[in-house]
Every structure is written in C-alpha cells, then in structure tokens.
C-alpha cells in the first residue's frame, strides 16, 4: 500500500515532513506513529485523492489520513501564501524524505541547539503552552512554566486539541517533562482536574520516595520502554482512582484500580479517543495490581487475564510502577516466571501414563 507521501508525490505535489516529524529526524529520536506533513496540495484535491480523509479540527493541520496504526496529519499551503507561523521557530524546520535533506526557510538553524525555545509572534498563551509541553517532552528544551502562564478567559479547549496534546506529549521520550509543565502552569488543574487530584494523595515514604501520587505517576515514565500509546495512557491513569478510594489501616486505597478504570474511561471518552483504545487502557488500569499477586492466585482466577494479548503490557506497567518506588523488582520477575510457565504448559500439555493428555490446569 502506498503511503500518502508517495501518493501525493506521484500526483505532482510537494510533500515535506514538518513540525516534530522534521525535528525527530534532525535530533534522531523515534518518530512514533504520527507524521506531520506540509504539502502544496489543496484540501479539495486531498479529499479527491483519499477516500477516508478526516478533518481533525486542529489549529495547523486541516486533514488526517490513517493507515493502520499510522496517522498522517497534513497542513496545506499555496506557493504564493506563506503558512501561518507556529509558536516556536524550531517548528519551521522541514525535511524532504525523497532527497534526504533538511530545509530551513526561516533560518532557524541556530535556534535548534539552544536550551530555551525561541518564540514567534502570534498565537494564544494556551497554544504556546501546549506546543512548549510537546517540544520539551521530545527534545532537550528546558521550559520555565512561569514563562507560559495561562491567561484568562479560561475557556476549555475543544476535545480534538486536548486529545492531540495528550497524545503528542506521551509519545515523547520524556513525557514527564511536558506533563510537569502542564501541571505547574495550571493547565491540568483547569482542564484535567482528575489528574490534579493525585497531587493530594500522600504516599508512604518507605515505599514511595518520589512523593505524592502525581509525582509517582511522573516517575513511572522514566522506566517506560518504548512509546506504546496504550501503555503510556495506562501509566498516566493507573492510580487515578486513589483520590476517591477508601482506606483502612489494613488496606490503603481499596478498590482504586477498578475505580480508576471507570474514571479513565470517562476522561478518554470525553476527549474522543477510540473505544477500542479506551477498552485496552482500562483493562490495564483495572488489573494493574494483579501481577503482584500472581504467584499466590489459583489458575482459575488468573487464566483469563494471562490469556489476554495485553498481558505483556500489563507486566510492563507493573515493572514501571515498581521501579518508581522502593519496592523490590523481585515481584516483577516472579510474575514473569509465572506467566512464562503458564504459556509453556498451555502450549505443551502433559500426557498421562495411559497416553491421554490431561489439562495444564491440573498443574496448579
């Protein structure tokens, strides 16, 4: 199947990687499943060339094309019209995939290696803040939250804007930087208050040196392997049920996993995430405590969960959660061993002396 880039090139249109897609190639960081493209094709011509063209309603991208898990977000321009500037100069870098060269039409090369982002004129305070969060989560840039305060009125940005912001921040190598900026600027308190509530959840210092529930959540991203969006969202929301869970001296935050899965489902649904993705994320949140007890659970209690194709991601969530605390990693290795044994025994059932197979369940 041809990519949108190939289709547009063959039709005589210019296509360049732009924004973070160009910067990813410049800084040689993983690009993920989203590609930002700049093309001289008109929106009408795009609609004629692609049957399933979507209109995401974003500030800079007028069109969206999906191919499997890949997304292509397109911004159209006319040779006689200069595209409106993005908030920061480094976002104007372009990359030509055919010739494997970069274009620097606004001479921003010297800004690329600076520690601080260089602003361009125009744009709202919210747009500056959002783009700074994305860039800081992906690259080396250091952003002072006091330089990007939210300015009234605090009208809530639309769901498409919030969804794209969250996806873009979490797809970076250091999402904790972007999330911290959004938190310290007041964005999360204003628009994502369910996340803000985690900052009021104290953790026992013997097991959680990183501090409260929000700080623990940010810490887990330092131990994430890869940028899987389902795992990333599950990490962000895995403890979101703690503020509403009941606690006793014997059981702290009782039922927070189940409560958190429901809160996360409502949040992601409000932002317009696909139902299939919400289902996968909430599965991980709902069962994120199970790996810790896997060694003690009878097979009939755990087999359905271990049969899920999401179980390896559940183990990754457990590993990152443990790593962001004082808990020993031994529990993670034990859970992995139980899972490997389960898969091996299920794939290779034993035989009785009379030659008949017996169920792997008899091993438990």
In order of start, what are the domains of the chain with their CATH numbers?
1-119 (3.30.460.10)
Q: How confident is the model at residue 220 (pLDDT cuts 50, 70, 90)?
A: very high
Number of neighbours of residue 216 by Cβ within 10 angstroms? 22
CA distance 37 to 20: 10
Residue 85 pLDDT: 86
Residues with Cβ within 8 Å of 105's Cβ and at least 6 positions away in sequence, in order, are 92, 94
> What is the chain's alpha carbon radius of gyration, rounded to the nearest angstrom?
23
Work out the pLDDT band at 205, boundaries 50, 70, 90: low
Give buried/exposed letters for 18-40 (b at 16+ CB in 10 A, else e): bbbbbbbbeeeeebbbbbbbbbe
For 253, list phi and psi in degrees, rounded to 5. Answer: 55, 50
Please write the tens of the pLDDT for every residue from 107-137. Answer: 999 999 999 999 998 778 899 999 999 999 9
In the predicted model, what is the mean pLDDT of the chain? 88
Paired sense of beta strands 34-39 and 63-67, if any: unpaired
What is the phi/psi pair of residue 36, to 5°?
Answer: -100, 125
Is 28's pLDDT higher than 50? Answer: yes
Please state, in angstroms and rounded to a whole number, the distance separating the CA atoms of residues 313 and 310: 5
Give the number of other Cβ atoms within 10 Å of residue 114's Cβ: 13
d(CA 30, CA 138): 9
Q: CB of 194 within 8 A of CB of 162?
A: no
CA 30 to each of CA 24, 39, 93, 262, 309: distance values in angstroms, whole numbers, following the listed order: 7, 23, 17, 32, 24
pLDDT band at 252 (very low <50, low <70, confident <90, very high): low
Lowest mean pLDDT among 13-22, 76-85, 337-346: 76-85
Residue 4 binned pLDDT confidence (cut-offs 50, 70, 90): very high
Whether residue 142 is predicted with pLDDT greater than 60 in this model: the reply is yes
For the ranges 66-75, 123-132, 197-206, 235-244, the lowest mean pLDDT is seen at 197-206
């Amino acid at each position: 199947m041809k990519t949108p880039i190939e289709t547009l090139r063959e039709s005589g249109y210019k296509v360049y990687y732009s924004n973070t897609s160009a910067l990813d190639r410049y800084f040689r960081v993983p690009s993920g499943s989203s590609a930002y493209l700049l093309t001289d094709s008109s929106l009408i011509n795009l609609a004629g060339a692609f049957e399933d063209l979507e209109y995401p309603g974003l500030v800079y991208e007028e069109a969206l094309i999906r191919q499997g898990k890949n997304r292509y977000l397109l911004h159209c321009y006319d040779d006689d019209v200069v595209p409106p500037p993005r908030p920061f100069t480094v976002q104007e870098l372009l990359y030509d995939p055919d010739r494997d060269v970069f274009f620097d039409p606004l001479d921003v090369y010297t800004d690329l290696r600076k520690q601080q982002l260089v602003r361009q004129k125009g744009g709202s305070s919210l747009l500056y803040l959002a783009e700074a969060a994305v860039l800081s989560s992906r690259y080396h840039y250091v952003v002072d939250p006091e330089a990007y305060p939210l300015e009234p009125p605090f009208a809530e940005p639309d769901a498409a804007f919030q969804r794209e912001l969250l996806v873009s921040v979490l797809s970076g190598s250091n999402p904790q930087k972007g999330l911290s900026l959004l938190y310290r600027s007041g964005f999360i308190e204003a628009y994502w208050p369910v996340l803000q509530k985690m900052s009021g959840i104290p953790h026992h210092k013997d097991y959680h040196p990183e501090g409260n529930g929000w700080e623990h959540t940010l810490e887990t991203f330092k131990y994430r392997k890869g940028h899987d969006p389902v795992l990333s969202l599950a990490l962000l929301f895995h403890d979101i049920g703690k503020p509403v869970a009941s606690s006793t001296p014997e059981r702290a935050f009782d039922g927070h996993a189940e409560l958190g899965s429901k809160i996360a489902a409502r949040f992601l649904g409000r932002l317009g995430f696909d139902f299939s993705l919400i289902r996968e994320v909430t599965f991980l949140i709902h069962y994120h405590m199970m790996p810790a007890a896997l060694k003690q659970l009878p097979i009939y209690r755990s087999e359905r969960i271990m049969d899920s194709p999401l179980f390896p991601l559940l183990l990754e969530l457990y590993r990152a959660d443990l790593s962001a605390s004082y808990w020993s990693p031994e529990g993670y290795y034990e859970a992995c061993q139980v899972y490997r044994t389960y898969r091996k025994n299920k794939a290779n059932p034993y035989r009785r002396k009379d030659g008949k197979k017996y169920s792997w369940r008899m091993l438990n």
